């Protein structure tokens, strides 16, 4: 039985996935893992560039009809055998010794069941720099003194199998977006938070074009609206309050003063955040029913 089961839900993300698999291949000090790719009804099956990794990694590919990212991750859970489940995205890039650092955290924190890995962007590029600034500021702002974090992102999130529901349905299939935030809300209702592992680092890739990135941000914010409506109906505080938003903005601005390039990155991130927040508010104006009272959004938009 492997220690890690690395679960990757894929929907037409084959190009991005190749770099993700390569980063797993680079985890030279940690071989005790399996990789489960769940193809959520992509337009085409896995190409040869991906299938070739079947000969080089402990990899399996499961294919299902398009049911959404939550259902795909649940399918991966049901197929997995490891004692720790690690969820990453096709556009995640595990940094060197990421799994070794996570393994060390498991050994030193046996009482913890949930782990959020540290996420970064690629500061060498403008759009990657905005993601790096966003993730770094978020994680700094939401990190608690005891090492827990009020943040959960399945670009790099791990859970002990003992804490997964018996049926494997960890994620709500009705949530087409922000399913990880809904999981965080469920944990917070039980008085729990993920434990932050700063040395286990994953780079999250975003579209290299600012325009494409803005379009993705807006689309994601709109699809997340239904999930946030459910969370709000439970009275759970997930979003930052105004003071926290101001502290985050102040931190971003202080960081950006180091150079003109950093200031440009900060302005681009503010644009990303503003458009995403505006889209979320538009959703609230257009819709009021929670996702449990509507058709599955995945069947409406046909994408994850």
Q: Which long-range contacts (C-beta less than 8 Å, at least 24 apart) are formed by 216-220? A: 217/272, 217/275, 217/276, 217/279, 218/275, 218/276, 218/279, 220/177, 220/276
Reduced to 3 states, what is the DSSP secondary structure of residue 30? coil
Q: What is the pLDDT of residue 242?
A: 65
Q: How many domains does the chain have?
A: 1
**How confident is the prediction for the chain on average, in pLDDT?**
87
Reduced to 3 states, what is the DSSP secondary structure of residue 18? helix
Q: Is the pLDDT of residue 133 over 80?
A: yes
Q: What percent of the chain has pLDDT over 70?
A: 89
Tens of pLDDT, residue by residue over 13-52, are: 999 999 999 999 999 667 789 999 999 999 999 999 999 9
Q: What is the pLDDT of residue 298?
A: 38
Q: What is the pLDDT of residue 303?
A: 39
Domain with residue 55: its CATH number is 3.90.550.10
Whole domain around residue 285: which residue ranges?
4-301
Tens of pLDDT, residue by residue over 214-267, are: 888 888 888 888 888 888 888 887 766 667 777 777 777 676 655 555 777 777
Core vs surface per residue 93-129: b (16+ CB within 10 A) or e: bbbebbbebbbebbeeeeebbbbbbbbbbbbeebbbb
The model's pTM is 0.86
Q: Is the pLDDT of residue 205 over 70?
A: yes
Q: What is the pLDDT of residue 172?
A: 92
Distances in Å between the Cα of 84 and the Cα atoms of 115, 146, 152, 221 are 10, 22, 16, 30
Q: Is the pLDDT of residue 53 over 50?
A: yes
pLDDT band with cut points at 50, 70 and 90 for residue 288: low
Contact present, 279 and 226 (Cβ < 8 Å)? no
Q: What is the pLDDT of residue 297?
A: 37
More confident residue, 228 or 195: 195
Work out the average pLDDT over 156-184. Answer: 93
The CA distance from 244 to 241, in Å, is 5
Region of poorest pLDDT, from 247-256, 264-273, 288-297: 288-297
């Amino acid at each position: 039985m492997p220690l890690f089961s690395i679960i990757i839900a894929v929907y037409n993300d084959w190009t991005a996935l190749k770099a993700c698999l390569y980063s797993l291949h680079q985890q030279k000090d940690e071989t005790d893992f399996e990789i489960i790719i769940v193809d959520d009804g992509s337009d085409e099956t896995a190409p040869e560039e991906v299938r070739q990794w079947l000969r080089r990694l402990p990899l399996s590919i499961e294919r299902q009809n398009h049911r959404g990212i939550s259902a795909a991750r649940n399918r991966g859970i049901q197929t997995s055998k490891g004692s720790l489940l690690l969820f990453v995205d096709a556009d995640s890039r595990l940094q060197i010794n990421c799994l070794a650092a996570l393994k060390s955290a498991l050994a030193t924190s046996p009482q913890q069941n949930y782990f959020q890995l540290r996420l970064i962007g690629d500061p060498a590029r403008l759009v990657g720099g905005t993601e790096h600034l966003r993730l770094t500021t978020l994680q700094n702002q939401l990190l608690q003194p005891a090492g827990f974090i009020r943040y959960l992102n399945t670009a790099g999130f791990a859970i002990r199998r003992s804490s997964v529901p018996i049926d494997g349905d960890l994620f709500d299939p009705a949530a087409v977006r922000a399913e990880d935030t809904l999981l965080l809300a469920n944990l917070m209702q039980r008085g729990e938070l993920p434990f932050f592992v700063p040395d286990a680092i994953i780079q999250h890739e975003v579209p290299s074009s600012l325009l494409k990135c803005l379009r993705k941000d807006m689309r994601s914010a709109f699809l997340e609206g239904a999930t946030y409506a459910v969370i709000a109906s439970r009275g759970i505080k997930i979003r930052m309050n105004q003071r926290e938003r101001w502290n985050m903005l102040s931190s971003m601005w202080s960081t950006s003063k180091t150079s003109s390039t950093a200031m440009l990155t900060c302005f681009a991130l503010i644009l990303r955040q503003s458009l995403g927040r505006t889209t979320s508010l538009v959703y609230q104006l257009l819709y009021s029913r929670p996702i449990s009272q509507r058709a599955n959004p995945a069947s409406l938009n046909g994408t994850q």
